[in-house]
Amino acid sequence: MNAENNFAARLIDAGRLAAIARTCGLKADVSYYVNEALKELWRSRSPEEAKKIAERWVLWDAEGRPWPRMPPLENVVQFHRAGTAQVPVVNRPVTPLHAIRAWFEKQDDGVQCEIAGMAALLVFEGADLLDLSSRVWCDCLRRWLSEAGLPAHTIIGRALTFRTCFEYFAESRFTESGWRRSETTALKILEDAKCDPNSEAARLAPIAEKMLDTLPARKGRWMEVRKSWRELASASLTARSLRVWSTLQTK
């Protein structure tokens, strides 16, 4: 029973670790941590016992990736869809949300996942979303930015909400000091992990190592994101720009 309890605890913790990893720009979703827990289960228990425990706690999606059975089906429903409908992005955005969507689509996959992760934490207030993959996060953000038939005040509210949320999280990625703090934090986690292999730091150590490995490349990408975001914000998301757009909708 202790083995099963420990395995269940790791599945419960998978969402938190995945959220931490995604906000650091790492491609490690809930399924990754469930798979790591399965590897440990198979190493520590007999094949028969490990299989029984896994069948009680794990679901596999159509691609063979493992997800926790908490809640039972939400983690796999998206894999049974024929495809995700894509909302076309026009060359000249009609609304501030279309402008944000067009800017979002120009970012590379890694940056898109980070941005969508920020939205999952604040914009959607989604504890449930944290248990899903970054692909689902991106789809949710696209739908939120592209929903049709919204009144002007709702569009402006969403644009301001996104700007506030994004800039809150992204500020540390826009400065040299922010990247130095990230590096210092990761190094401290690795140092603490060496001192206590059973500590929280030890559990976060793999994330810290990956973050240090990818930090130079991510820093370069985010410096480009900073430039394009500031151009978008100054052109379409200032208070004056939003008032002008709103006024035009009433004519």
- Give per-residue pLDDT as tens, 167-215: 988 888 888 888 888 889 889 889 888 888 888 888 888 888 888 888 8
What is the mean predicted confidence (pLDDT) over 97-124?
A: 87
CB-CB contact of 44 with 51 (8 Å)? no
For 58-74, what is each residue's pLDDT tens digit? 888 777 888 887 543 33
Nearest one of 155, 168, 180 to 118, comparing CA atoms: 168
Assign 250 a pLDDT band (cuts: 50, 70, 90).
Answer: low
Mean pLDDT of the chain: 79
Tokens, residue 108: 């590379």
Q: What CA–CA distance (Å, rounded) separates 162 from 156?
A: 10
Per DSSP, which regions of 65-205 are E strands?
Answer: 66-68
For 38-60, what is each residue's pLDDT tens digit? 888 888 888 888 888 888 888 88
Q: What CA–CA distance (Å, rounded) separates 244 from 148?
A: 20
Q: What CA–CA distance (Å, rounded) separates 240 from 196?
A: 54
Assign 105 a pLDDT band (cuts: 50, 70, 90).
Answer: very high
Q: What CA–CA distance (Å, rounded) separates 225 from 75?
A: 30
- Provide CB contacts within 8 A for 122, sequence distance 6+: 165, 168, 169
Confidence at residue 25, expressed as pLDDT on a 0 to 100 scale: 67
In the predicted structure, residue 98 carries a pLDDT above the cut 70: yes
Q: What CA–CA distance (Å, rounded) separates 47 from 25?
A: 35
Assign 232 a pLDDT band (cuts: 50, 70, 90).
Answer: very high
Confidence at residue 251, expressed as pLDDT on a 0 to 100 scale: 55
Which pTM was predicted?
Answer: 0.58
What is the mean predicted confidence (pLDDT) over 152-161?
A: 92
CB-CB contact of 63 with 76 (8 Å)? no
Of residues 249 and 165, more confidently modeled:
165
Of residues 75 and 208, more confidently modeled:
208
Tokens, residue 66: 């493992």
What is the mean predicted confidence (pLDDT) over 112-119?
A: 87
11-15, 87-91, 193-197: least confidently modelled range = 87-91
Confidence at residue 133, expressed as pLDDT on a 0 to 100 scale: 65
Confidence at residue 205, expressed as pLDDT on a 0 to 100 scale: 86
For 122-153, what is each residue's pLDDT tens digit? 776 554 555 556 778 888 899 999 998 899 99
Confidence at residue 70, expressed as pLDDT on a 0 to 100 scale: 52
What is the mean predicted confidence (pLDDT) over 227-234?
A: 93
Segment (H or E) for 138: helix 134-146
17-21, 72-76, 162-166, 183-187: least confidently modelled range = 72-76
What is the mean predicted confidence (pLDDT) over 150-161?
A: 92
